[in-house]
Structure 1
Amino acid sequence: MDRLRPDTVPFAVMAIPELEQLFGEPALPAASTGTARLLVVEDDPLLAQSLIELLAHPHRSFEHARTVGEAIATLKAQTFDLILLDYRLPDATGLTVMEWLCDAERSETVIIVSGEVSPDAAIGGLRRGAHDYLQKPYHPDQMRRAVDNAMRKTELERANERMRHQLEESGRLHRHLIEHSPDLIYTLTPEGRFAYVNLRVESLLGFRRDDLIGQHYDKLLWPEEHRQSRDAFRERRTGARAAANVEVRLRRHPVTDGGHEHGTPYITVMLNAMGMYSHNKDGNVLQPRFLGTYGVARDISDRKHAEELVAYQAYHDQLTQLPNRALFQDRLELAMAQAQRRGATLGVMFIDLDRFKLVNDSFGHTEGDKLLRAIAARLKNCLRRGDTLARQGGDEFTALLPDLSSPEDAATIASKILQELREPFPVAHTEFRATVSIGIALYPRDGNSAEALTQHADIAMYKVKSRGRNSACFFSAEMNVEHMERVTLERELARAVEQGELELEYQPKYSLSRRRMVGVEALVRWRHPQRGLIPPSEFIDIAEESGLIGPISEWVLNEACAQMARWRDMGYEQLQLAVNLSPRDFDRDNIVDDVCNTTQRHSLPPSSLDIEITESSLLRDTEGVARKVRQLRKQGYGVSIDDFGTGFSSLAYLQKLPVTSLKIDRSFVRELDGGNNRHPIVSAIAGVAHGFGLHVIAEGVETEQQVYALRAMGCDEMQGFYFGKPLPAAAITARLEQHQATQQGPSVFHA
């Protein structure tokens, strides 16, 4: 029989007097009466000390190692009963210590303690013989139980080790070990009936041993076991061909409580079995005679459960318990192979939540996680039995729709999802109406690979986003062309930033009361070598998504401030400069320092610069934006809210954000034509601005009627085509010189 590994024990230890009677010498004392030695391998001294204090016991001593090298050096010098091993150490992972223990044939019990969320750490530790795996942060009672169990395991292993040595001297001990083995040990007659089974069968399976003797082994096998497992249980072969490490399911005796069965109906064991033979001499030839089967079955149910849990976590999203990206990919590839054989159609949906970041920013990630789980449940209820809903990550989901009779089936499911989400979700102490953008791709029409189908569904989803969200659409070849053009434009934009293809134009701002130009707004343009002048509306969104907006904003700020310094040197010291910053710019911690450093580099007073932020910036991270706005105002810079009234902000933001100006969006100004001299939103914005002591600026002014209407509602500063289109710096300089020559602003402001 192969030598049992240390983790094959733990034997139920007999009473000490019984051992003394068997061997005629003092038995091995229980480890609890001596001092157990523990090694804590942890690079954080405070955490190590707290762990030692948590596990302190009069019969325990502790050593501490901070690195893998220090741990191995300590282990070379002395032995321990238990090692508490951190997974992530400064010089290597704890698996290196596990490998050293294995190579050195050491018997220390190991508990791995790790902050790793990946299942690889747990799998690696368990495969290398770790007794247990605890994930940080752990509960103190969890750690105590794990250590107590491990110490008991060590105690049992030591007792078993001594028993095995004494087994050579005592046949009586052999019988005792068999009876008290943690493994199920049995022998079968040639007909497959139990001739012997140890007591372990009673605690393991719930069957009385006496009731099994003489019964066929099929009584214990789970009915669904395959033929190979049945043959292994009644093994006839010996030597290398005998059954080894075969997983078999054994039936447990039903346990009833109040007429209802409870507990697991079967356990999984690792079976090792071989045939037993006697050899009779027939002349000069030894003839083997089959006596039956000898087998050992070890309960591995806990290990199987742990492996299944690790496998489940590797292929499922931990928040929603839905399949993750990897499992979705596997199922999609299988469904495509089946659809190809049958000539069938399947669909892939890419589902993205609209405005989900608003929930995280407003109510916190805990409420956001609750909302994601609730949305996942509703989405799943909208799908058919054979469909698969998966979470790609963040607020993105995918759905696999096999066996579609027509594209309309997918459209019906999408409509059902949109309808289902109309019912608001409870979030914190309020309600949130969630909407989604859904893109749909069909196989084989839209792609012949899982990657292509998912990508095309994603492209279709972004098309829905661009059209206003809360809808669904199918992928088309034209969308792919648009997507490729967008990818090309992104690549060329990165080159444009590096090669200086960006340039600035400046749109004048006029004051009616002062009858002159009082400022300019810097507007970025892209002069493409082949496409010509590209307006910001065609590339700013790409810049924000690709991360290029940071370098672009830095260039705009520096270039505009340099030009402003030149105008001030020419004597136009009262001119104000406005520069737009993207919401992404306010994600940077150093944005305030960048603004300050740029104005200082060009010797501009902060009061000459106005930073314009969009209303959507207020929704990204209210506290973070407010803090940075306060820092800018404290340094003396002006801050304006662009497109005020078009977003979701409330007047409460104006109390948190010490802004200096509000800009009326051109969409409201446009409605002042056609005899409509008053507009309720424009009047409200002007009233709010005056109430808070803020400047109010109207943009997009194009007609004289709009000018008079805005002036009547209390708006003094304006910009738009009526006063002048965005112009290069030289043209603005010429206009400033013209106004200076006349010593007054013109009575008619438009260019």
Structure 2
Amino acid sequence: MVTPTEHAFRPQTERTSGVEAGTFRILIVDDDPSLRRTFPHVLARPGRHFDECGTIGEAIERLEHEHYALILLDYRLPDANGLALLDWLVDHQRDEAVIIISGEDAIDAAIAALRRGADDYVRKPYHVAQLQRAVDGALHKGALEKANKLMSQRLKASERLHRYLVESSPDLIFTLDSAGRFTYVNPRVKALLGYDRSALMRRPFTTLVMPEDLDRIDGLLSQPSSLPGESFNVELRLRRYRGGADSESDSVTVSLTGIPMITQEDDRRVVGLYGVARDISERKRAEEIITFQAYHDQLTHLPNRVLFKDRLELAIAQAQRRTGALAVMFIDVDRFKLVNDTFGHAEGDALLRAIASRLSATLRRGDTLARLGGDEFTVLLPDINQPEDAEVIARKVLDALGAPISLSQGQFRATVSVGIALYPRDGGTAEELTRHADVAMYQVKRSGKNAYRFFDPDLNTRHRDRIALENDLRTALARNELDLHYQPQVSVIERRIVGLEALLRWQHPVLGPIPPATFVQVAEEVGLIGEISAWVLERACTQVAEWRAAGIEAPRLSINLSAHDFHRANIVASITECLGRHALDPDQFEIEITESIMMDDTTSVAAKLRELRSAGISVAIDDFGTGYSALAYLQKFPVSSLKIDRSFVRDLEGPMTNPIISAITGIARGFELELVAEGVENEEQARALRALGCDVMQGYLFARPAAAAEARNWLSSPERLFEAFDASSATAHYAN
């Protein structure tokens, strides 16, 4: 029952975070619209209301008019990173809880966010359950903090309500006399420590203190007599009473604030101590959890990148003092993406936990196994005597994964690729050793996986060359280093050019010509192939338009597209738009694809090819016969021509010596497809192809790939292309 006096001095009920008590407003700040739409669904709870925006500026504008219980903040945003909003909240003394959601791997980003007041830091990719727990925890923590804040305000509201507030305080409040004995203690002591208030009267406060903390509190309790008026704050463990069973493990951690009680006389003597002890057991446990999370992987509970680096640096320092050696292993799970894509991320997580368990079982006491993220693990092997010691552990790692791992979807045989770097041979710092072990692991991946390899300086050189090539390729377009060469496709019977194939060339300013087989693969891996393909299409269309303006009618032009190009939804539209912009007829162009494209997402690829054919653009299968040739694909995909791979043409000696070419020519006739033979280098090959029914040929016998100027000469005087062919035919005639 609340008395009228108490009601008069009770603070007004606060509005919490912009809505009535019991509800929460949550602001989502993320530049990804799909995530902004997803969060309210996965985080929905009764009483939660969501607002969203995509930039820091929009967020500040909302915060100037609204209060929120929680802000879900992306780390990287178009106009600034999330730290800017954290600084704004501090400057404006705001109390919104903030959870940073980031794809940053570096621990520095997390540390910076937490130092600026972020309540939690969730790394991408994350589990929905992880995000839900973080949000629930932040809201719960915020609610508790606001409840405590309200209680603190009540303590200050009025001296007339002092006893009411003290008696109902969630904190342990007490007074001591000058000898350190209890003169008052509030009822909280019963719930917190299990003691009756009356049992503590006139007993020394130190009887509640655990033995390990006695020295500290004794010194502080004696302080008021010499330093009157100065308060102190200390963390202590107090005994919990359990029917007479006091033990070290049965204690409560409190934050104790002691304030000397001073007389009002002129001498201002210290007559006792006013103390407030707040139970911080939950906070201490939360701090331990946060500390653990900062240094351990959430999925496997293994040390993370930060803790691994700390231990590695310590091991290096110890090895330097003892002139010892150590090894670092970089372990990557083979085909892990296959599990995620096939069975889902839950199964992928189960696989990672199982692999972590097996890897841990192979290591010695004192070794450190860490998970860097994704499917990457590292191992620190201190105190090794020779490289063979690390080799023994590497074999154990491979053997440990020999037995299949049982998942809910079935059994999976996991393998790993292991790279090993040795100290001091392969590096003197933690960063060098980890990087070199990673380079060695990458070489295992390229060599077939499921093996181990020691770092070799030559590997690092090749790795650096690859990175340099990637960087140079990114600027090749801007520097006009790419060019198109053209190779004619000729009809031997009609003695005319029936087509040109556009071939991409890269003239590196330092390395010279770089083969397409080298840099195209790099472009695909680093995501540049779409930009390069768009340049090829634009350059080819521009060249045909220039020839036409000069009065030269070009035959059909073939352009090669990568399998990655067909992953783009707008690939057909981009081709037709380019042709339309240059006022070119679609039947002047042919798109060449490989057989492997037809194996990748068959339905989607077939639909795009049908769109190309409907637009009037021809489609050719390049290198036919070397990949996944099947009549079913020819029935399903609307192709217009086949190109016989040069590997079949190279070994031709007579019309019946290559049954594959015979089969391909039969397939072309059966499906009414045009047929082109690539790599024709001599007249004997040409005669054999003619005998097998192939008339259109392409190769060095007629012309090597050349720049646009030379291609223009061919178009003006196509008879020049048959001079070598005619000469070899005449020689063969006279020889017979």
Q: Please report how far the alpha carbon of residue 440 of structure 1 lies from its aligned counterpart in structure 2 after TM superposition.
A: 2.3
User: Which whole-Å deviations, capped at 9, do the CAs of 1:622-662 have from their partners, x for residues lacking one?
Assistant: 77656655544443334445567777999998788655566
Contact 1:229 1:247 in 2 (8 A): no
Q: Please report how far the alpha carbon of residue 393 of structure 1 lies from its aligned counterpart in structure 2 after TM superposition.
A: 4.4
Contact 2:485 2:502 in 1 (8 A): yes
Q: In structure 2, what is the Cα distance between the partners aligned to 1:750 and 1:569? A: 41
Contact 1:42 1:67 in 2 (8 A): no
> Structure 1 residue 201 and structure 2 residue 189: aligned?
yes
Counterparts of 1:638-657 in structure 2, within 5 Å, are 638-640=618-620, 642=622
Q: Residue type of the partner of 2:590?
A: D
User: Which whole-Å deviations, capped at 9, do the CAs of 1:500-558 have from their partners, x for residues lacking one?
Assistant: 33333444556799897654433223334554433223333344445554444333333
Q: Please report how far the alpha carbon of residue 447 of structure 1 lies from its aligned counterpart in structure 2 after TM superposition.
A: 1.7
Q: Please report how far the alpha carbon of residue 203 of structure 1 lies from its aligned counterpart in structure 2 after TM superposition.
A: 1.8
Q: Residue type of the partner of 2:233?
A: N
Deviates more, 1:143-152 or 1:426-435: 143-152
Counterparts of 1:577-726 in structure 2, within 5 Å, are 577-586=557-566, 590-614=570-594, 628-640=608-620, 642=622, 660=640, 725-726=704-705
Structure 2 counterpart of 1:60: none
State how many pairs are aligned. Answer: 687
Structure 2 counterpart of 1:182: 170
Q: Which of 271, 275, 296 is equivalent to 2:256?
A: 271
SS in 2 for 1:636: coil
Counterparts of 1:3-402 in structure 2, within 5 Å, are 15-16=1-2, 19=3, 54-55=46-47, 68=60, 84=69, 86=71, 93=85, 96=88, 99-101=91-93, 112=97, 116=101, 124=116, 150=143, 161=153, 164-167=156-159, 169=160, 177-186=165-174, 197-206=185-194, 220-221=208-209, 228=216, 231=219, 239=227, 244-250=232-238, 252=240, 266-273=251-258, 295-318=275-298, 320-358=300-338, 371-402=351-382
> Structure 1 residue 417 and structure 2 residue 397: aligned?
yes
RMSD of aligned residue pairs (Cα, Å): 6.0
Q: In structure 1, what is the Cα distance between the partners aligned to 2:294 and 2:7? A: 53
Q: Which of 474, 488, 491 is equivalent to 2:454?
A: 474
- Identify unmatched segments of 5+ residues in structure 1: 1-14, 58-65, 75-81, 103-109, 129-134
Contact 2:329 2:378 in 1 (8 A): yes
Identity of aligned residues (%): 46
Q: Which of 714, 718, 736 is equivalent to 1:737?
A: 718
User: Which whole-Å deviations, capped at 9, do the CAs of 1:533-586 have from their partners, x for residues lacking one?
Assistant: 332233333444455544443333334444555777899979443322334444
SS in 2 for 1:447: coil
Q: In structure 1, what is the Cα distance between the partners aligned to 2:130 and 2:730? A: 68
SS in 1 for 2:483: strand
> Structure 1 residue 458 and structure 2 residue 438: aligned?
yes
C-alpha change, 1:718 and 1:125, in structure 2 (3 Å) is: same
SS in 1 for 2:477: helix
Counterparts of 1:566-577 in structure 2, within 5 Å, are 575-577=555-557
Q: Please report how far the alpha carbon of residue 234 of structure 1 lies from its aligned counterpart in structure 2 after TM superposition.
A: 7.7
Q: In structure 2, what is the Cα distance between the partners aligned to 1:262 and 1:713? A: 96
SS in 1 for 2:69: strand
Q: In structure 2, what is the Cα distance between the partners aligned to 1:147 and 1:609? A: 64
> Structure 1 residue 438 and structure 2 residue 448: aligned?
no
Counterparts of 1:481-520 in structure 2, within 5 Å, are 481-494=461-474, 496-509=476-489, 518-520=498-500
Q: In structure 1, what is the Cα distance between the partners aligned to 2:582 and 2:429? A: 55
C-alpha change, 1:740 and 1:749, in structure 2 (3 Å) is: same
Q: In structure 2, what is the Cα distance between the partners aligned to 1:448 and 1:158? A: 56
Contact 2:100 2:118 in 1 (8 A): no
Q: Please report how far the alpha carbon of residue 487 of structure 1 lies from its aligned counterpart in structure 2 after TM superposition.
A: 4.0
Contact 1:235 1:274 in 2 (8 A): no
C-alpha change, 1:299 and 1:738, in structure 2 (3 Å) is: same
Q: In structure 1, what is the Cα distance between the partners aligned to 2:690 and 2:399? A: 46
Structure 1 counterpart of 2:54: none
C-alpha change, 1:568 and 1:87, in structure 2 (3 Å) is: closer
Q: In structure 1, what is the Cα distance between the partners aligned to 2:192 and 2:424? A: 53
SS in 1 for 2:478: helix
SS in 1 for 2:484: strand
Structure 2 counterpart of 1:525: 505
C-alpha change, 1:643 and 1:440, in structure 2 (3 Å) is: farther
C-alpha change, 1:160 and 1:633, in structure 2 (3 Å) is: same
SS in 2 for 1:248: strand
Deviates more, 1:495-504 or 1:473-482: 495-504
Give the TM-score taking structure 2 as reference length. Answer: 0.70
Contact 1:353 1:435 in 2 (8 A): yes
Q: Please report how far the alpha carbon of residue 86 of structure 1 lies from its aligned counterpart in structure 2 after TM superposition.
A: 4.1
Q: In structure 1, what is the Cα distance between the partners aligned to 2:93 and 2:202? A: 45
Contact 2:439 2:455 in 1 (8 A): yes
C-alpha change, 1:213 and 1:381, in structure 2 (3 Å) is: farther
Q: In structure 2, what is the Cα distance between the partners aligned to 1:430 and 1:388? A: 30
Q: In structure 2, what is the Cα distance between the partners aligned to 1:646 and 1:511? A: 24
SS in 2 for 1:503: strand
- Identify unmatched segments of 5+ residues in structure 2: 30-35, 50-57, 103-108, 121-127
C-alpha change, 1:419 and 1:559, in structure 2 (3 Å) is: farther
Q: In structure 1, what is the Cα distance between the partners aligned to 2:141 and 2:371? A: 39
Q: Please report how far the alpha carbon of residue 594 of structure 1 lies from its aligned counterpart in structure 2 after TM superposition.
A: 3.6
Deviates more, 1:110-119 or 1:23-32: 23-32
SS in 2 for 1:498: coil
Q: In structure 2, what is the Cα distance between the partners aligned to 1:126 and 1:715? A: 71
Q: Residue type of the partner of 1:269?
A: V
Q: Please report how far the alpha carbon of residue 298 of structure 1 lies from its aligned counterpart in structure 2 after TM superposition.
A: 1.0
Q: In structure 2, what is the Cα distance between the partners aligned to 1:219 and 1:341? A: 48
Q: Residue type of the partner of 1:333?
A: E
C-alpha change, 1:453 and 1:43, in structure 2 (3 Å) is: closer
Give the TM-score taking structure 1 as reference length. Answer: 0.69
